[in-house]
Structure 1
């Protein structure tokens, strides 16, 4: 048997909010100083009439009142770990330095991605495939919390197939948003979804940056400087992503950039938008700290 980590248990109680709060407060006295900051991390196994967030709030308030310490979820001096197994709660207090911190020495890429309008051609075909593809794409764009998703068909499309795709997109966006809303320590933003013919959208947004993600373009690393100029000077950057059929060649002449992110590899429709966003965030990361969320020029 192998253990990922072993924690010393400083208190045990029944798995009720009141008893866990009292036990944690007692354990924290003498282990967390008034000049320190702390965070509560809760893991639940079993069915309970409360959530992990409920435990974090109640236990955190009890520890704060007992010690005079402040709460710091991102970089705490001490961590109060609450492990709930069915009707039993185990409480451990350990140094915050034991945690791997996701954001140490890094800045978030959200201000960069919040400028991106993903313009996605719909996946059309068998109805179940349309629905499943829509769900995956919806989850991906919500995962990155982009400015907006525009579903952009070209010409005449089969309405039922498009409807299934759109329903899948809504389902994917909502399911991922609910996860973010419950787990993030900041307010998550639901990505709005729009529908517009691709050619009309390109005409309407000719004054804005338009980036086509297709294999005919330059590799993204070679156009990083130009890409940065487009993001730095604009509130909205339109990133066009194809589907079973690529972006029509006639659209290329309106594009500020045609970009390839994986030469020699054909990306599946459900991964194309996510791959493009990861590539953009990667090549512009060092410069993106200069951006403010939603800022920029016209």
Structure 2
């Protein structure tokens, strides 16, 4: 029996050594055709369970059909594949192509999927199928498998969507000041974090007059950090991603703004209350507020004159002060878990 093993790049040899130790009759081919992160294993018996016990092994794909890497040969397996998919089940075809061929991965997905659909009467489900047909092409060979729904999955109906809360949150961030290079680097971290959580808006809010060039470098950093994260999101997510709005507004005018109705204002500061003392009321406000506005300091905290105008002043980590760039992830992850807690 053959297995296609995936590993982190650079750990193919380590995984192979452990496979040989664990399975004495294993015939192992490391980085077949020079493709990193892959190990082909041939054994006399089914040893899938033993392979999954090796931490360096990320994925174990039992090879059910092996054919030449030609489109008609791959399509010829449809009849045998269909024996493993019931009419009441959903399926998808996922092709990973390594090497040069006269067809694309999408050609395989569409044409093989259509044949399986005709033979089984099963429906295609690209999001969360009951069965997944894997076509792993390595050079002149195609290795095909039918696997059950995988245990580890990013997007499932059972998981709530964190964006339901995050899209209501506006972050008001004091800009970092000082050395130009440090301002820019800190801005990158802030921009990346804000974009990563897809919040409603990021407002950069000086609390007083500050050096224009220091602010300029901070904003340049925010733009760079936001763009780098946005490009990753575009490639990684199966949905459209937007760049969050970024604006500049005086800190005191943000908290004075009366146009924002049904809002909850949160200030993060070591002088504040611990979350466990206010969690029940805060959780209710998170659910019913149209907007949650969070003020985060930078080098210095939020001025105390704003405290009485806020709904909550929270000390996220009592007896500890975290770095400026940790403010956004810390408060947003905390609010999300509170929002979803029972």
Structure-2-length-normalised TM-score? 0.72
Q: Which has the higher contact order (CA 8 A, sep 6+)?
A: 1
Partner of residue 255 from structure 1, selected from 299, 310, 314: 310
Partner of residue 301 from structure 2, selected from 246, 267, 270: 246
- Does residue 1:92 correspond to 2:145, yes or no? yes
Which deviates further from its counterpart, 255-264 or 39-48? Answer: 39-48
1:170 counterpart SS class = helix
Quick one: distance in 2 between partners of 1:255 and 1:161? 28
Quick one: distance in 2 between partners of 1:123 and 1:24? 60
Pairwise CA RMSD: 3.0
Aligned to 1:283: 338
Superposition pairs for residues 1-298 of structure 1, below 5 Å? 1-2=14-15, 3-9=57-63, 10-12=65-67, 14=69, 22=75, 28-41=81-94, 55=105, 57-68=106-117, 69-83=122-136, 85=138, 90-96=143-149, 98-102=150-154, 103=156, 105-205=158-258, 207=261, 208-286=263-341
Structure-1-length-normalised TM-score? 0.81
Aligned to 1:290: none
Contact 2:298/2:324 (CA < 8 Å) preserved in 1? yes
Contact 2:66/2:141 (CA < 8 Å) preserved in 1? no
Quick one: distance in 1 between partners of 2:294 and 2:100? 43
1:6 counterpart SS class = strand
Contact 1:64/1:70 (CA < 8 Å) preserved in 2? no
Aligned length: 280
Contact 1:21/1:58 (CA < 8 Å) preserved in 2? no
Q: 1:83 to 1:164 in 2, by over 3 A?
A: farther
Quick one: distance in 2 between partners of 1:134 and 1:23? 55
Quick one: distance in 2 between partners of 1:26 and 1:157? 71
Unaligned runs of 5+ in 2: 1-13, 16-56
Q: 1:164 to 1:60 in 2, by over 3 A?
A: same
> How far did 1:86 drift?
6.6
